[in-house]
A and B are shown apart, each in its own frame.
Chain A
Amino acid sequence: MYLQYVVDAIGTGSLYALMTLGLALVFSVMGLMNFAYGQLVMIGGFSIIMLRQQPWWAIILGTILVVVIASLLMERLAFRPVRAATAMTMLITSFALAQFLQQAARVAFGANPRPLEQFSELSVQYVVGDLFISRQTIITVVVAISIMLALTLLLKKTNIGIQLRASTEDVDMARLVGIKSNRVIASAFVISGVIAAIVSMLFFATRTNVSWSSGESIVLIAFVGAVIGGLGSMVGAALGGFLMGFAYTLLNALLPLELRVFADAFLYTIVIVVLLIRPSGLIAAKGARV
């Protein structure tokens, strides 16, 4: 049974790793902790519902398209104007944006959770010896690892990646060397949107409802994961997100019944301890000296 717990934990961990990657990409590009990222997942959920009559491939493409457009609009309308502001202002801007999107969804789709059953084939379980592994877990792990590698390569090896990182650090100077920062940053939001769309499909595959509040709390864990992992690298972010999901599931699995309700308290105490030991995350960024 312990092995089964580990499998469960890997599944959850990977989903959060994926989510964290989308968050970390935008962070690494403009120093923005995008609280509204969870709302992209929610938008993904609603677009799955809207497209439910379509064939599965159309749902996938349609959802990606909708979420990417939403992500681009976010960048253009809300985040570009505050790009030069402090991290705090950007964070609160994203928070206000999240509020706005939530309420807009509330107005558009009502207060009640909307049932959703698409992609529920993903939760089919395979039996391997004693272990049960769901299709969703396998896909999530594979997708998370591929996206992590792809993003790492993109940022490290391609010109656009280098330009992305340069724009993050110093937009004025980036312009001075001829980088079209707006375009470059927008492309990061496109990628981040694609990831959010994938997350929404994988996440809602195990859920039964989408509601205006669906995006709110899941983003928090990814948030914490990103910081714990260290925002310096995609590997760090993915690791942080993964560990949050992994630890959460394992705590739930292994704590005795009376303490299980305190699982969150244990998890976040661990978070504090990790941060105290490694203030700039598990994999810290280099480049600063006195």
Chain B
Amino acid sequence: MNDRVSAWSRWVFLALPLIIPLIVITVLIAVTNDISLVQRASTAMILMVMVVGLHIFSGNSGVISFGSVAFAMIAAYTSALLTIPVEQKPSLFPDMPGFLSWIVEFSLPVPAGIVVAVLFTGVVAVIVGVPLVRLSGLSAGIATLAFLVVVQVVVTKWKAVTRGESTMVGVPKEATLWWALAGVVLAIAVAALFQVSRNGRRLIATREDDKASMSIGISIPKERLVGWTLSCMVAATGGALYGHYISTFSATTFGFALTFFIVAMLVIGGMGSLTGAVVGVLVVQVLSEFFRTLETQGLGPIPIIDFPGLTEMVLALILLIVLIVRPSGITGGTEVADWFARRKSPESSAS
């Protein structure tokens, strides 16, 4: 990157090449008014919020987290509890424990519910993060996975508050394509800001070499905690949006399947780069929607493939091939911004 550019312009280079095309695509899709296209785009962008959230921590710190879906779940449930219409609450939560009985007595508008849910999730993230950020490598992966299991069990079994195995219903279904777009734009903006910030750069240093970063005064737990909290809050935004988008969900919605799917999209896009997070979601979603179209409508000369499981199999195979052909992800861990920067010769910018 050019040495003259400020952090601000680095942010612009990082975020805008991702944000602008997304806005353009969204507008084009909205104009077609094709409900199924709108649906697919909304789902993809909400997932993208979660993937970008994961990237903020895992991508920059190099520490695996399988826990981000747990935070999405916490936020989805929190926002649901806050926003379900007051009239429905008594019948949905007849056994709400005393100390939470106030929840039954009011309901917030959805945007407020999402904001409160994200803030609350942030608090949980800090509490969980303080011990967990001390772990690295597979230990961190397993510990975050364990946290996911714990949250899942609690959500599944704490029937009075979460409706247990029963699905959460009555959640206002308000999230639209535009909400999803707003979520993604916000997520990318935040992620890019973090990446060019002092904290973000320090976190990247700890990813490269923990000992060396300590030797120049970087506190690994502190930097990780900042990244972790931010990451969980962005994932939480995705989770809350998801909740208000599908409007009925249960703990299994936020399970291992979603977790691995999100991690896979990050890796396929190229771990360590924000561009990778965005590209990974796009590629995987476009592919899987392509196959779903084949399955339900056929495509031009290709007839409907009505063989349950076949398209999933082929999709998994294609993802496998992508990984084999490009083990470091589609972007190889570079940013769009790097492609601009590479044009300039090092000599000219160093002088």
Contacts and interface: CB of A to CB of B under 8 A. Distances in A.
A–B in direct contact per CB < 8 Å: yes
Interface of A: 33, 78, 81-82, 84-89, 91-93, 95-97, 99-100, 103-104, 106-107, 111, 220, 223-224, 227-228, 231, 261-262, 264-265, 268-269, 271-272, 275-276, 279-281, 290
A6 to B, nearest CB: 25
B143 A271 contact: yes
Contacts of B263: 88, 92, 95
B186 to A, nearest CB: 26
A107 B313 CA distance: 8
A103 to B, nearest CB: 4
Given A111-B308, A276-B134, A89 B271 contact: yes
B142 to A, nearest CB: 4
Given A88-B267, A107-B310, A231-B138, A95 B260 contact: yes
Nearest to B211: A290
Contacts of A100: 313, 316-317, 320
Overall SS of chain B's interface: helix
B17 to A, nearest CB: 25
Contacts of A99: 312, 316, 319
Interface stretch (B73-81, B233-241, B322-330): B322-330
Interface in B23-78: 64
B143 A275 contact: yes
Given A81-B327, A265-B149, A268-B150, A92 B267 contact: yes
B312 A227 contact: no
A264 B139 contact: no
A82 B135 contact: no
Nearest to A276: B131
Interface in B124-157: 131-132, 134-139, 141-143, 145-147, 149-150, 153-154, 157
B102 interface: no
B109 to A, nearest CB: 33
Nearest to A270: B146
Contacts of B320: 78, 93, 96-97, 100
B339 interface: no
Interface of B: 64, 131-132, 134-139, 141-143, 145-147, 149-150, 153-154, 157, 211, 256, 260, 263-264, 267-268, 271, 307-310, 312-313, 316-317, 319-320, 323-325, 327-329
Nearest to B323: A93
Give me the 5 closest cross-chain CB pairs, A-B, nearest first. Answer: A85-B327, A103-B313, A100-B316, A268-B146, A106-B309
7 contacts: A87-B137, A89-B329, A100-B317, A107-B307, A223-B142, A271-B143, A276-B143
Contacts of A279: 134-136, 139
Contacts of B307: 107
Overall SS of chain A's interface: helix
A224 B146 contact: yes
Given A272-B143, A279-B134, A107 B157 contact: no
B64 A88 contact: yes
A104 B271 contact: no
B168 to A, nearest CB: 19
B313 A81 contact: no
Contact of A227 (B139, B271, B310, B328): B139
Nearest to B138: A227
Given A100-B320, A276-B134, A224 B142 contact: yes
A228 B100 CA distance: 37
B323 to A, nearest CB: 5
Nearest to A223: B142
A103 B312 contact: yes
B146 A272 contact: yes
Nearest to B260: A95
A107 B309 contact: yes
Nearest to A89: B327
B154 A265 contact: yes
B149 A275 contact: no
B139 to A, nearest CB: 5
A173 B319 CA distance: 31
Contact of A261 (B142, B157, B317, B323): B157
Contact of A89 (B149, B153, B317, B328): B328
Contacts of B147: 268, 272
Contacts of A89: 267, 271, 323, 327-329
Contacts of A88: 64, 263, 267, 271
Contacts of B271: 86, 88-89
Contacts of B132: 272, 276
A60 to B, nearest CB: 29
A268 B132 CA distance: 14
Contacts of B264: 92, 95-96
A82 B324 contact: yes
A275 B323 contact: no
